[in-house]
Amino acid sequence: QVQLQESGPGLVKPSETLSLTCTVSGGSVSSGSYYWSWIRQPPGKGLEWIGYIYYSGSTNYNPSLKSRVTISVDTSKNQFSLKLSSVTAADTAVYYCARQGPIAARPFAFDIWGQGTMVTVSS
C-alpha cells in the first residue's frame, strides 16, 4: 500500500530556510489522480494546511504562508519537497506530508499521511 515518509533536519535556526522531503512508496507521485500536500501542527495545537502540488508542478498554497513557501516535486525520485523561508519560533511544529484525493471524487480529502517529523526553530 502507499506509504509516505518525511525526512529533513529537526532543528532550524531563526531566519533560515526549513527544508523537508516526502518520499512516496507503494505508489507514484506521478499519478494524475492525486495532489500531494504538506500540513503542520504546532505542539499542542491544531492542524494547518500549508499547500499542495500536482505531479505536473502546479501548486496551491495557504495564503497566510504563500510568500515563504515553495513546494516542488521530483518524479524521478518519487518525492515532493517543502521549503519554508525566514522561519521563526512560530514555525516550530510537526510537519506532515499527505496524499490528497482522488481528485475526481474528493479532491480535498487527505487519505494517507506520513508519520510526521518534528521541526524546532531555535538558535
Partner 1 sequence: DIQMTQSPSSLSASVGDRVTITCQASQDISNYLNWYQQKPGKAPKLLIYDASNLETGVPSRFSGSGSGTDFTFTISSLQPEDIATYYCQQYDNLPLFGGGTKVEIK
The rounded distance, in Å, linking the Cα atoms of 71 and 38 is: 8
By C-alpha distance, which of 60, 19, 52, 23 is closest to 36? Answer: 52
Tell me whether residue 84 or residue 98 sits nearer to partner 1 (CB atom).
Answer: 98
Regarding 26 and contact with partner 1 (CB under 8 A), the answer is no
Residue 4 to residues 36, 44, 49, 94, 97: CA-CA distances in angstroms? Answer: 10, 23, 17, 15, 7
Regarding 115 and contact with partner 1 (CB under 8 A), the answer is yes
Tell me whether residue 46 or residue 90 sits nearer to partner 1 (CB atom).
Answer: 46
Neighbours of 90 (CB within 10 A): 8
Regarding 16 and contact with partner 1 (CB under 8 A), the answer is no
CB of 43 to partner 1, least distance (A): 12
Regarding 38 and contact with partner 1 (CB under 8 A), the answer is no
Among 31, 48, 70, 103, binds partner 1 (CB under 8 A): 48
Tell me whether residue 2 or residue 14 sits nearer to partner 1 (CB atom).
Answer: 2
Provide the grid cell at 117.
517529523
Cα 28 from chain centroid?
16
Binding positions for partner 1, rule: CB under 8 A: 37, 46-49, 60, 62-63, 96, 98, 106-111, 113-116
